[in-house]
Amino acid sequence: MKFDLLKEKRKIVMLTAYDYQMAKILDETGIDLILVGDSLGMVVLGYGDTKKVTIEDMIYHTKAVARGAKNTPIVGDMPINSCNTVEDALKNANRFLEAGAQGVKIEGNKPEVIKALLDKGIPIMGHVGLLPQTAERYRLKGKDKAEGEKILKDAMELDQFGVFTIVLECIPESLAKKITESIEAPTIGIGAGRYCDGQVLVINDMLGFDEDFSPKYLKRYTYLGREIKKAIVKFKEEVLNETYPDGEHTYH
């Protein structure tokens, strides 16, 4: 699988997945990329952020996703403390590849680590703007001039290193537009407006599992949390009323 994301001259579509069944569904839709995100810390493991996610967590879920996605390139999210040194980064990136990913995502501008992985032929997705692994709180980044210039500079350096794409998270649309126009690598936005080369959302968020999480950028395309609750309540009622199982759903 190659990360030739701009060959069709259309927007790039990426979503997260953390398990076999969701990966299988995504694989059948023809999206461009599946990200096994460290967002699994919140939506799968129940943490308040991504800071407790381990490399073992990520490899476990990447293997499950790889069993379901046979045609869609998979990117593994390098979790906090997994690439503090070049040695650690190489070891852990190779674990992702062995688990079935075709590339890895690294938060922030880490020149020594990124260059070392690229020199070994490991495809890297960059990530600038809001960096959840190190952020004290989730907020819009790059609003003030100095912060915006730093994000632009980091994106341009990542592009020069040779990353195959860059995630722009929670930055002003004008800054995302400037970055997208200034670099060759395609940009994938989450809370970064209309001018990125593609978009990504956390699958659980866009499917409406948790209605308490409502950042401005999030559009829910359905409300599965409500539908799941309704189905469970119906099952509970039928069991208590002894209408399930009925003859149709019983072996004879």
Task: Name the residues annotated as catalytic.
Answer: 169
- Rounded to the nearest angstrom, the gap between the alpha carbon of residue 39 and the centroid of all alpha carbons in its chain is 7
Q: Which of 111, 117, 125, 19 is nearest to 77 (CA)?
A: 125
Q: Which of 143, 103, 86 is nearest to 4 (CA)?
A: 103
The Cα 248–Cα 13 span in angstroms is 42
Q: Give pairs for 9-14: CB < 8 Å, separation 24+.
A: 11/197, 11/198, 11/199, 12/165, 12/186, 12/188, 12/197, 12/198, 12/199, 13/198, 13/199, 14/75, 14/188, 14/198, 14/199, 14/200
| CB within 8 Å of 125: residues ≥ 6 apart | 35, 75, 103, 104, 105, 106, 163, 164, 165, 166, 167, 188
